């Protein structure tokens, strides 16, 4: 690394990567920030639906002062767009990484954390302001984030293209970390992958797939469990898009289609999907070349990543993000016992489980009970299964329980992100959390993630198959989303 004088008289950090020299900027506290570095070639033209290709090398010094282009995506619907920032940065070179480092010098050998963003495999990017990595660099960790292909471009299933291209992009980004992070002061032998929602689903897959073996040593799954979607359902999504576009359901035909038309068709077929009720979606599928078997089954059978410590958890009221902004909570409450019965059937719970839940949440209405049952099915049950099946390495469970200051959201999905990144001061963090957030809770949670990356132990006992998880924040909410005095452990 060299820090050379810039035209404005300030010294800017430079690092030589395998493809060329990048010039970053000095961040808070003397840290260094490098943004928008290509880790693969732009996925355009013949590469739109191909596996990621190596980036082209460059001569001279590449400026790395601004986030690179975001992957093509459809916007959030209005109720969610007001809660979830999702910037769009135009450009083709969307397969790029960002690095925050406390010491951009070869030989520093600092622990590395690699962030995989969420967004239901169709939205999101590394440029979301809440994901700023400055606090991790401040605390001695090299933080890496990156973009990858989304929606039909990353996960559409075609007869003439590789499956799971978004996951292949993620593997390519991790290979870039392995090959380059030492020049930024990181230790390629101490890499923690962490992700939330679809990013956690991806992290779970990376734990299980052979092509990612050896690329990281620890993993954090926030509000997402390893899963694959049925191949016929994902293929049906492509066929529905093809019908709207009046083209063949092939990668060749979709490559010849203008990108805005592709995204418009994708938005149309996604309108009937949702995390709680299911429906059509894009996501990972089993595939002999990438995900040979269901990743949760693979991990629970002790067939992969036996030596990787895990940090796993959820928010107390995940479902409120999906239901409250659209009026879904009111609808389920009007359905009354039918809503609970339908949720019980979908979650596979028996009546005894519903009685136990009612005892733990005596003030809860039908929507609250249905939401908790479906959260069990999607998150708590599979993550507990994964934690209970661990082999040589420990697993640590947590629950985030601080309620948002935004009415009705409670401890909803994605609320913990500003606490993990210690970015509560970022204006966009208030979109989901409200104006009054406890910095002490961010200090505690962020420190636990750093401690896990450094030592493999976040600071509480490993899960032994029983007992409650570590709880961050409080208090419990009643069925109307209001705090109640006492807190009980959910069954």
String of DSSP letters for 60-71: SEEE--S--PPP
Distance CA 435, CA 71 (A): 30
pLDDT for the residue numbered 13:
96
Nearest to 182 by CA among 99, 106, 111: 106
pLDDT for the residue numbered 20:
98
**Catalytic site residue 476?**
no
H-only helix segments in 158-308: 165-180, 198-208, 231-245, 251-255, 259-270, 295-300
Distance CA 406, CA 403 (A): 8
pLDDT for the residue numbered 389:
87
Nearest to 225 by CA among 61, 430, 378: 378
* Active-site choice (117, 121, 413, 446): 413
pLDDT for the residue numbered 464:
87
pLDDT for the residue numbered 482:
47
* Active-site choice (125, 197, 347, 411): 197
pLDDT for the residue numbered 11:
79
pLDDT for the residue numbered 276:
59
Global confidence as pTM: 0.93
pLDDT for the residue numbered 8:
38
**Catalytic site residue 145?**
no
Q: Which residues contact 52 (CB under 8 A, 6 or more apart)?
A: 39, 40, 41, 43, 95, 165, 168, 169, 172
**Catalytic site residue 436?**
no
Instruction: From first to last of the 491 residues of the chain, give the pLDDT tens digit.
Output: 344 333 333 579 999 999 999 999 999 999 999 999 999 999 999 999 999 999 999 999 999 999 999 999 999 998 999 999 999 999 999 999 999 999 899 889 999 999 999 999 999 999 999 999 999 999 999 999 999 999 999 999 999 999 999 999 999 999 999 999 999 999 999 999 999 999 999 999 999 999 999 999 999 999 999 999 999 999 999 999 999 999 999 999 999 999 999 999 999 999 877 665 566 689 999 999 999 999 999 999 877 888 999 999 999 999 999 999 989 999 999 999 998 999 898 888 888 888 889 988 888 999 999 999 999 999 999 999 999 986 789 999 999 999 999 999 999 999 999 999 999 999 999 999 999 999 999 999 999 999 999 999 999 999 988 888 999 997 544 444 444 433 333 33
* Active-site choice (318, 368, 399, 428): 318
Q: Are 177 and 198 in contact (CB under 8 A)?
A: no
Q: Are 445 and 456 in contact (CB under 8 A)?
A: no
pLDDT for the residue numbered 408:
93
């Amino acid at each position: 690394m060299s820090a050379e004088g810039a035209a404005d008289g300030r010294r800017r950090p430079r690092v030589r990567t395998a493809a060329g020299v990048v010039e970053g900027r000095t961040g808070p506290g003397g840290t260094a920030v490098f943004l928008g570095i290509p880790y693969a070639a732009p996925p355009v033209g013949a590469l739109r639906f191909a596996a990621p290709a190596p980036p082209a090398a460059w001569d001279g010094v590449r400026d790395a002062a601004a986030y690179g282009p975001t992957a093509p995506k459809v916007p959030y619907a209005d109720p969610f767009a007001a809660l979830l920032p999702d910037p769009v940065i135009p450009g083709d070179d969307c397969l790029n990484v960002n690095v925050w480092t406390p010491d951009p010098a070869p030989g520093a050998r600092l622990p590395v954390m690699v962030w995989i963003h969420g967004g239901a495999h169709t939205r999101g990017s590394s440029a979301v302001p809440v994901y700023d990595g400055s606090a991790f660099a401040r605390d001695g960790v090299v933080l890496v984030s990156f973009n990858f292909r989304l929606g039909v471009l990353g996960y559409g299933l075609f007869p003439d293209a590789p499956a799971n291209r978004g996951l292949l992009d993620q593997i390519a980004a991790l290979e870039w970390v392995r090959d380059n992070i030492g020049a930024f002061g990181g230790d390629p032998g101490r890499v923690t992958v962490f992700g939330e929602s679809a990013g956690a689903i991806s992290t779970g897959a990376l734990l299980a797939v052979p092509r990612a073996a050896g690329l990281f040593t620890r993993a954090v799954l926030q509000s997402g469990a390893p899963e694959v979607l049925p191949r016929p359902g994902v293929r049906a999504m492509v066929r529905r898009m093809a019908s709207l576009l009046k083209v063949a359901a092939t990668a060749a035909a979709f490559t010849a289609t203008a990108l805005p038309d592709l995204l418009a068709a994708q938005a149309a077929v996604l309108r009937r999907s949702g995390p709680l009720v299911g429906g059509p979606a894009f996501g990972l599928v089993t595939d002999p070349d990438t995900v040979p078997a269901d990743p949760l089954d693979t991990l629970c059978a002790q067939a992969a990543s036996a030596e990787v410590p895990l940090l796993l958890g959820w928010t107390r009221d995940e479902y409120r993000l999906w239901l409250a902004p659209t009026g879904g909570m009111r609808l389920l409450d009007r359905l009354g016992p039918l809503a609970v019965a339908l949720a019980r059937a979908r979650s596979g719970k028996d009546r005894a489980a519903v009685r136990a839940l009612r005892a733990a949440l005596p003030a809860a209405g039908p929507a609250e009970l249905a939401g908790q049952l479906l959260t069990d099915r999607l998150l708590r049950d599979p993550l507990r299964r994964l934690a209970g099946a661990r082999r040589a390495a420990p697993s640590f469970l947590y629950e985030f329980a601080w309620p948002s200051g935004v009415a009705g959201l409670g401890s909803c999905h994605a609320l913990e992100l500003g606490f993990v990144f210690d970015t509560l001061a970022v204006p966009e963090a208030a979109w989901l959390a409200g104006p009054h957030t406890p910095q002490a809770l961010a200090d505690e949670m962020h420190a636990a993630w750093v401690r896990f990356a450094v030592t493999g132990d976040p600071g509480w006992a490993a899960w032994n198959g029983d007992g409650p998880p570590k709880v961050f924040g409080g208090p419990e909410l009643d069925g109307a989303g209001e705090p109640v005095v006492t807190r009980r452990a959910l069954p």
